[in-house]
Structures are given as C-alpha cells and as structure tokens.
Amino acid sequence: MLIRYKKSMEKIAMGLLSFMPHVKEVKKLQQTIQEYNNNPNWHLFLWKDEDDILGALGVVIEEDKAIVQHISVDPSHRGNGIGKQMVCELRNMYSPMHRVTATDETKNFLEKCETEA
Ligand SMILES: CC(C)(COP(=O)(O)OP(=O)(O)OC[C@H]1O[C@@H](n2cnc3c(N)ncnc32)[C@H](O)[C@@H]1OP(=O)(O)O)[C@@H](O)C(=O)NCCC(=O)NCCS
C-alpha cells in the first residue's frame, strides 16, 4: 500500500529516488528530498509491503493536476506489478479533484499503466 513519506524515512526514500535517471547525482538527490520535506505542493509516497519499503512515487500539484515526477521500484522487486499498483492507488487518491499526469521522464511508464488500466 501507498503510505505518505515522513522525514524519518528520508534515507530509504533517497535510495529509491536515486534510481530515477535525473536524480542520481548526490546534490540533485538532496535538493529533491528537501523539496519533498518542505514544499507543500510536493507529495511523496512510499510503497509498503509488510515491513519492507519497495517503491517511491512523487507528485507535484499544479492547480488541478497531480504530476507524477518520480516513480521507482527497488530493482530486485521490479516486474511484479508494484509500479502499476502505485499509479492505480495514486489515481484513486487524487481523483476526481486532480488529474494524474506525467512529466517527460515518467510518461512512458504512465502511458503503459493507462493502456492496461
Ligand atoms: C518504471 C518502474 C517504476 C516500473 O516498476 P515495476 O514495479 O517494475 O512495474 P510493473 O511491474 O508494475 O510493470 C512492469 C511493466 O512495465 C514495463 N516498464 C518498465 N519500465 C518502463 C518504462 N520506463 N517505460 C514503459 N514501460 C516500462 C515493463 O516492461 C513491464 O511490462 P510488461 O507488463 O508488459 O511485462 C521501474 O522499472 C523503475 O523503478 N525504473 C527505474 C526508475 C525510472 O526509470 N522511472 C521512470 C520510468 S518512466
């Protein structure tokens, strides 16, 4: 299930965000997590499976849009449907108030989720 990120989960969240192609660099990773800590329009969620945190999903809210800007799953748990479940839960959480959209970086996977929804 998706849980809301808290500062106490910062290390695990940074580890997962570092799998995003444009967030690998340490400085960029630190800036990104700071934004999730401090910016009320940046919402980060983690995927919890029993006691393990296996995925991260980050959105930025812009008017009526919830834009998925980060999505990543622990490499040893990919291909098991976690990515698609995260997107599905996110849609249920934000609609109908917000339309869930993607960035250039996340659109390929979001499009895949849409075609299979
Ligand atoms: C993208 C990612 C989150 C998918 O997570 P996952 O839990 O493995 O996804 P699921 O198991 O729900 O879905 C797997 C399907 O998505 C496809 N897929 C994986 N990465 C994809 C991508 N970047 N674009 C489009 N489809 C992708 C797989 O080929 C697989 O297809 P299939 O169902 O036809 O076999 C994961 O691969 C990841 O963390 N990648 C690194 C971070 C990243 O690049 N994020 C941006 C992605 S656009």
pLDDT band at 117 (very low <50, low <70, confident <90, very high): low
| Distance in angstroms (rounded) separating the CA atoms of residues 35 and 53 | 21
Question: For the segment 49-84, what is each residue's pLDDT rounded down to a tens digit?
Answer: 999 999 999 999 999 999 999 999 999 999 999 999
Give me the pLDDT at residue 116, please.
74
Question: For the segment 2-23, what is each residue's pLDDT rounded down to a tens digit?
Answer: 999 999 999 999 999 999 999 8
Say yes or no: CB of residue 96 within 6 Å of ligand 1.
no
Q: Do the Cβ atoms of 2 and 45 come closer than 8 Å?
A: yes
CA 78 to ligand 1: nearest atom: 8
Backbone angles phi, psi at 78, to 5 degrees: -75, 155
Angle between helices 10-17 and 26-38 (to 10 degrees): 130
CA 93 remoteness from chain centre = 13
CATH 3.40.50.10490 assigned to 2-115: no
Give me the pLDDT at residue 80, please.
97
Say yes or no: CB of residue 69 within 6 Å of ligand 1.
no
Measured by CA distance, the residue closest to atom 46 of ligand 1 is 106
Candidates 97, 94, 105; CA nearest to 32 is 105
Give me the pLDDT at residue 30, please.
97
CA of 20 to the centre of ligand 1 (A): 12
CA of 12 to the centre of ligand 1 (A): 20
Question: For the segment 19-52, what is each residue's pLDDT rounded down to a tens digit?
Answer: 999 988 999 999 999 999 999 999 999 999 999 9
Say yes or no: CB of residue 106 within 6 Å of ligand 1.
yes
Give me the pLDDT at residue 24, please.
82
Say yes or no: CB of residue 108 within 6 Å of ligand 1.
yes
Say yes or no: CB of residue 87 within 6 Å of ligand 1.
no
Candidates 117, 61, 71, 116; CA nearest to 94 is 61
